[in-house]
Amino acid sequence: MTILNIAAYRFVSLTGLPALQSVICKALEGSAIKGTVLLAEEGINLFLAGEAGEVNAFMAWLRDDSRFAGLAVKESWSDTQPFKKQLVKIKPEIIRMNHPAIQPASGRAPAVDAITLKRWLDQGHDDHGQAVVTLDTRNAFEADCGTFAGAIDWRIDKFTEFPDAFKNHQEALQGKTVVSFCTGGIRCEKAAILMREAGLTDVFQLDGGILNYFEQIGQAHYTGGCFVFDDRRVVDAALAPRPELVGAIEA
């Protein structure tokens, strides 16, 4: 496998978005890197793929900006380029929730790392003896490709439906330790902040999402693969493309 695929996001207050868009386009100009960089006042979200040297050089350039110095990247490899275009876009949100009160840049919800989540799931409770539930914040078709065993799945069709779904199910989460999860961390971070602001106290986000869990832990407590929004369609716990697993959602 010769193509490096990266996913990264960071909630950070950004201004001067058109100028930033122009600078990033200039930095990517002439490279064979493809994928999408999303910019919003709340931060940056990117999915890129290309030759490792070019991708790493771009990320080193991006991290020279202090706003992106802490940008953590999830990496995987493929034999072919999974993206068709190179895009840098300005959006109202880097992940659309239609809930303007949520400002992740003002402070993250507490996160649980992959190793701790596995230990909690192994023992059936958190370190205080409270029952642990995992909450899938992704779209229903993504969950159909694979999810944590016993995960709560509200069968939402798009992330903008999450706030209403939470209101309808909030009572059932009381008295439990809730770990929200998603592909790479961005949706479950917003979801965890919303739930905490609504008064649910024992809520954590899975740090780095499913992709980081795969990288750190592997398949334990997880069934199937993880849907990704590029030509690979689904990756397995080894982060290898498994497009045949899409059959679970297309059957």
CATH of the domain at 84: 3.30.70.100
Which letter does DSSP use for residue 229 in this model? S
Residues 66, 13, single domain; the answer is yes
- pLDDT of amino acid 247: 54
Per-state percent for the chain, helix, strand, coil, to nearest 5:
35, 25, 40
In a domain, 136, yes or no: yes
- pLDDT of amino acid 249: 45
Residues 128, 150, single domain; the answer is yes
Residues 201, 155, single domain; the answer is yes
C-alpha gyration radius of the chain = 18
Domain finish residue from 32, 61, 90:
90
* Residue 33 domain boundaries: 3-90
Q: How far is CA 36 from CA 48, 79, 112, in A?
A: 6, 19, 28
Choose, from 145, 182, 188, 226, the residue flagged as catalytic. Answer: 182
- pLDDT of amino acid 55: 97
> Facing residues of 7 across strands?
47, 74
Please state the pTM of the whole predicted model.
Answer: 0.85
What CATH number is associated with residue 246?
Answer: 3.40.250.10
- pLDDT of amino acid 242: 85
The rounded distance, in Å, linking the Cα atoms of 55 and 45 is 15
Residues 136, 206, single domain; the answer is yes
The rounded distance, in Å, linking the Cα atoms of 7 and 180 is 19
Q: Return the biggest CA–CA distance within the chain.
A: 55
- pLDDT of amino acid 81: 94
- pLDDT of amino acid 223: 95
Name the residue among 108, 98, 94 with its Cα closest to residue 180.
108
In a domain, 97, yes or no: no
Residues 132, 56, single domain; the answer is no
Residue identified by tokens 């050089």 is 57
Residues 40, 67, single domain; the answer is yes
In a domain, 95, yes or no: no
Which letter does DSSP use for residue 195 in this model? H
Residues 171, 217, single domain; the answer is yes
The rounded distance, in Å, linking the Cα atoms of 91 and 20 is 13
E runs forming strands in the chain:
3-11, 34-40, 43-50, 73-78, 86-90, 111-112, 132-136, 146-148, 152-153, 177-181, 203-206, 222-224, 226-227, 234-235
> Facing residues of 11 across strands?
43
231: three-class secondary structure by DSSP: coil
- What are the mean pLDDT values of the chain's consecutive 10-residue runs (251 residues total)? 90 95 97 97 94 97 95 89 96 87 74 98 96 97 96 97 97 97 94 93 95 95 93 89 67 44
Residues 167, 128, single domain; the answer is yes
* 145 carries an active-site annotation: no
